[in-house]
């Protein structure tokens, strides 16, 4: 497995990081998924052709003075995919494997994710090809400020609103907000989401992706008439997404039997005390130091005989090499893009339901939307309000996806795409092509 996430959000590795054999890139996966889903929809092929391409990709170079006085130049991107339903929205990652194609693929997923949640946003993604673990806090701040300046022309509270992703966090978002605001001459909190609450961030934003994974898992179990109290769950990862999801499912009566970090996983068939295991944010790489009956590798964790498997660490972990060996009855995607196209086909043949990332981890961008509303209105919501509204948005989206699933003979991913693409295509048809 590749490096453990340091962000508060779901993330995807590029294919190259996860195996010796070739695995597809995020943009290839995103395009294949689009092609597959449109087979079930009557969408104007001209609109589909448009959606295969980003609107714009900004590529910049970012010179940063290292602490020793030398200057290093990094490459950064901001990909805009589609904005027919509202401003571009999506995370910003600092990771050595960030590429243009990865940003484009991830920006496509953000378009579908916002549409499946019926949020008034389009899709974007960006990042800098850098290993944030090799930067001091000061270097990271300088990088963030200079990168913000380089992309300042294409972001803004009504244009494109970045958010945390792999290798970035709420502090990074605060620097971005400050750099943008200083240049614009006024404080503009709505330019970015995932900020600390003291500078306009939303309560509950940090926990939101994990909370949505838990809510969707609960709903799926209900759909398949399974009692959460009799459910075993294996969770790959123990960053913010996985830890929050695991703890909530545990609190709701589920038995979380395995969790992991970059060093491997811990497994107890009788259930782990998820609150006692420090998340990556609380104490990095501490999972395998716990006193539990079994240590497992990340590959073994994926193949455990459990009811629900939640890959919530990195992308491309479910591949044609292990898809036949997955013993779980259900898969809920916590990370972005954990399932390759080849694995998806095997799971479809095996009738193994895979609940897609664009629905399951969409709590992050949903609470980002709440944060943006709070920033625009200059009025903070209580945690209770955030969580209640997130709950109802997730259940509404789940119900929309269920309707599409039952009306068509498709996978859960296709059903989510059908919901999202119908909304996007209708908006494109209604607005028309300019000029």
**Catalytic annotation, residues:** 125
| 364 is a site residue for ligand GLU (CB under 6 A) | yes
CA distances from 135 to 9, 13, 141, 174, 384 (A): 20, 20, 9, 18, 37
For residues 109 and 106, give the distance between their C-alpha atoms in angstroms, rounded to a whole number.
5
| 368 is a site residue for ligand GLU (CB under 6 A) | yes
HEC string for 205-218: CCCHHHHHHHHHHH
Q: How far is the CB of 258 from ligand GLU (least distance, A)?
A: 24
The residue of the chain with the least Cβ separation from ligand GLU equals: 91
For residues 140 and 147, give the distance between their C-alpha atoms in angstroms, rounded to a whole number.
10
| 189 is a site residue for ligand GLU (CB under 6 A) | no
Q: Which one of 165, 178, 329, 400 is in contact with ligand GLU (CB under 6 A)?
A: 165
Comparison of 329 and 393: residue with beta carbon closer to ligand GLU: 393
Which residues from 4-63 bind ligand GLU, rule CB under 6 A?
A: 9-10
| 360 is a site residue for ligand GLU (CB under 6 A) | no
175: nearest Cα among 199, 204, 158: 199
Residues in contact with ligand GLU, counted by CB under 6 A, come to a total of 13
CB–CB of 356/416 below 8 Å? yes
Q: What DSSP string runs through 341-407?
A: HHHHHHHHHTT--EE-HHHHTTHHHHHHHHHHHHHHHT-PPPHHHHHHHHHHHHHHHHHHHHHHHHH
| 243 is a site residue for ligand GLU (CB under 6 A) | no
H or E element in which residue 244 lies = helix 240-251
Peptide bond into 24 cis (omega under 30): no
Which residues from 75-94 bind ligand GLU, rule CB under 6 A?
A: 89-91
Q: How far is the CB of 106 from ligand GLU (least distance, A)?
A: 7
Q: How far is the CB of 44 from ligand GLU (least distance, A)?
A: 28
Comparison of 240 and 255: residue with beta carbon closer to ligand GLU: 240
Comparison of 277 and 317: residue with beta carbon closer to ligand GLU: 317
| 250 is a site residue for ligand GLU (CB under 6 A) | no
Token reading at 238: 């123990």
| 193 is a site residue for ligand GLU (CB under 6 A) | yes
Binding site for ligand GLU (CB under 6 A): 9-10, 89-91, 113, 163, 165, 193, 336, 364-365, 368
């Amino acid at each position: 497995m590749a490096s453990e996430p340091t962000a508060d959000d779901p993330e995807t590795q590029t294919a190259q990081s996860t195996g010796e054999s070739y695995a597809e890139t995020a943009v290839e996966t995103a395009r294949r998924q689009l092609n597959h889903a449109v087979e079930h929809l009557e969408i104007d092929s001209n609109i589909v052709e448009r959606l295969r391409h980003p609107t714009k990709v900004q590529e910049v170079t970012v010179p940063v003075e290292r602490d020793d006085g030398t200057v290093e130049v990094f490459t950064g991107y901001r990909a805009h995919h589609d904005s027919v339903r509202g401003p571009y929205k999506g995370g910003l990652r600092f990771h050595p494997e960030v590429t243009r194609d990865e940003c484009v693929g991830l920006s496509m997923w953000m378009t579908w994710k916002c549409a499946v949640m019926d949020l008034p946003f389009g899709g974007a993604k960006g990042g800098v090809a850098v290993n944030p673990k090799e930067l001091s806090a000061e270097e990271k701040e300088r990088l963030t400020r200079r990168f913000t300046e380089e992309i300042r022309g294409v972001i803004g509270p009504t244009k494109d609103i970045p958010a945390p992703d792999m290798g970035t966090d709420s502090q990074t978002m605060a620097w971005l907000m400050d750099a943008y605001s200083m240049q614009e001459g006024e404080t503009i909190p709505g330019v970015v989401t995932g900020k600390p609450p003291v500078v306009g961030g939303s309560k509950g934003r940090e926990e939101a992706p994990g909370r949505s994974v838990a809510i969707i898992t609960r709903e799926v179990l209900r759909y398949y008439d399974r009692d959460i109290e009799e459910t075993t769950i294996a969770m790959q990862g123990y960053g913010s997404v996985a830890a929050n999801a695991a703890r909530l499912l545990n609190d709701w009566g589920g038995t979380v039997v395995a969790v992991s970090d970059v060093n491997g996983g811990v497994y107890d068939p009788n259930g782990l005390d998820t609150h006692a295991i420090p998340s990556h944010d609380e104490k990095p790489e501490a999972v395998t130091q716990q006193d539990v009956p079994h240590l497992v590798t990340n590959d073994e964790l994926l193949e455990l005989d459990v009811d629900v498997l939640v890959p919530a660490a990195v992308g491309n972990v479910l591949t044609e090499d292990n898809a036949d060996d997955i013993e779980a009855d259900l898969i809920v995607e916590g990370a972005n893009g954990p399932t390759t196209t080849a694995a998806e086909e095997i799971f479809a043949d095996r009738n193994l339901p895979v609940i897609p990332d664009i629905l399951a981890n969409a709590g992050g961008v949903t609470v980002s939307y709440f944060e943006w509303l709070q920033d625009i209105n200059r009025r903070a919501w209580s945690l209770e309000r955030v969580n209640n509204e997130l709950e109802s948005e997730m259940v509404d989206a789940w119900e929309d996806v269920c309707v599409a699933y039952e009306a068509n003979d498709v996978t859960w991913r296709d059903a989510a795409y059908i919901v999202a693409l119908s909304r996007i295509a209708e908006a494109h048809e209604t607005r028309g092509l300019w000029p």
